[in-house]
Structure formats: structure tokens, C-alpha cells
Structure 1
Amino acid sequence: IWIQPETLIAFVTDITKSLAHHGFRRILLLNSHGSNHPVLDLAARKTVIETGIICLSASYWNLCA
């Protein structure tokens, strides 16, 4: 199955904004599917702009290298 990139961005951003509302100040979006990385990066950037918290995205294979 698949969803539009805009849908994933909106879904992830809703979650990160909710976490920020509940006091989270640093969020890491950990990607495990190659083609999702640019989309999660956009969601992280949108979260930073809209909430002012630290939000980053990374792929697990980059963290293990």
C-alpha cells in the first residue's frame, strides 16, 4: 500500500506538534524506508517552523555507519 507524500507529512506533523504541545522539546524521526527520508525531512522542518522545538530526521542506516 502507499499514501501521498502530502498525507504522510500531515500525519507526522500532527503527531510531532502534539508531542510538542505535551512538552517534548527534542524529537528524532527515525526512517526505515529509503524513499520516505525526504518526506520525513520536510515534516521535521515543518515541525521546527511551526513549534520552535528541535526536530530532526535520520535513517537508521546512517546512524549505524
Structure 2
Amino acid sequence: AKTQPLQHHNLLVCFVSGFCADSIEVRWFQNGQEEKAGVVSTGLIHNGDWTFQILVMIETVLQSREVYTCQVEH
């Protein structure tokens, strides 16, 4: 019988900080295709100096040759 290797789940984190306006869109892409499943966000966090930060995460099992991209629109 052939055994399958364990699949390790990875948490990819996109950290954006220092922006002034509260309108920001952060999206994850896998191989150029937008990935919406499994995406979790902290929401906007005030830095205390009129700027904000946000963390947008995605949990995935990484495969070779896959490319993940975090895109920020502001």
C-alpha cells in the first residue's frame, strides 16, 4: 500500500499598514484566480495616528508551483 504524505495547512498573512483612508480592499489570488474561500480578515485596526492597519489571511495546503498573491486596492 502506498502512503500519502501528510498535508500541512499553512496560514498566509497579508499585512497592510499606514494607510489613511478607511476604504481599502485586500484580495488573495491563487495562480491568478481570486480565492475567496477560507479568507479571514481582522477588519480595520486604528494605529492611533490617523492611520489604519489590517490583516487578511487565508488557510491553504501549499502545493508546488502554486503562486499566491495578496492584492491591495486603495
TM-score (norm 1): 0.33
Q: Which has the higher contact order (CA 8 A, sep 6+)?
A: 2
Which structure has more strand as a fraction of its residues?
2
Which structure has more helix as a fraction of its residues?
1
In our comparison, the structure showing a higher alpha carbon Rg is: 2
